[in-house]
Structure 1
Amino acid sequence: MEEATPPTAAPSRPELPDHLSADPRSPHHVAAVFEHDIGIRFNGKERHDVEEYCISEGWIKVPASKTVDRKGQPLMLKLKGKVEAFYR
């Protein structure tokens, strides 16, 4: 008689890092985290335009409108405050 295998659980989500960047060229980019839907709450409000964050230092980086640098990358503004990262 064969034993039944337990049902496979949904793949576990990796722990959210303290410092995360959406730019794949950054050393703080973790591709496994971006396979799931991530939310960022900044000073109590959910933000959808965050490109990079650091929870321990309390800052986020967001694009400065449509302004780009000479390499075509968006210019970033660094905003300081309370940062919370979570999975949706």
Structure 2
Amino acid sequence: MTDKLPPEVAEAHWTKTRNLMWTTLGIWAVFSFLIHMFVTSLNNVVILGFPLGFYMAAQGSLIVFVVLIFWFSSRQNSIDEEFGVAED
């Protein structure tokens, strides 16, 4: 679909899409690696009887990933609609 766009509009669409991708990848990296690197120090904080490090490793990251998927999909759809290349 983007091949029907003028080159400057296609470039603007790709720029927004690329920025969204890098933002999503950054959030994913934080919750995949950084949180788990500090799991032992996070275990000093206890929430509802569970150490925070355990909770973030077992449940928190998974919840963030699911929310991240829906957020990414919504933002990408908004970008596609803005440039007139949205799918039905």
TM-score (norm 1): 0.22
Give the number of the structure whose alpha-carbon radius of gyration is greater. Answer: 2
Q: Which has the higher helix share?
A: 2
More strand by share: 1
TM-score (norm 2): 0.22
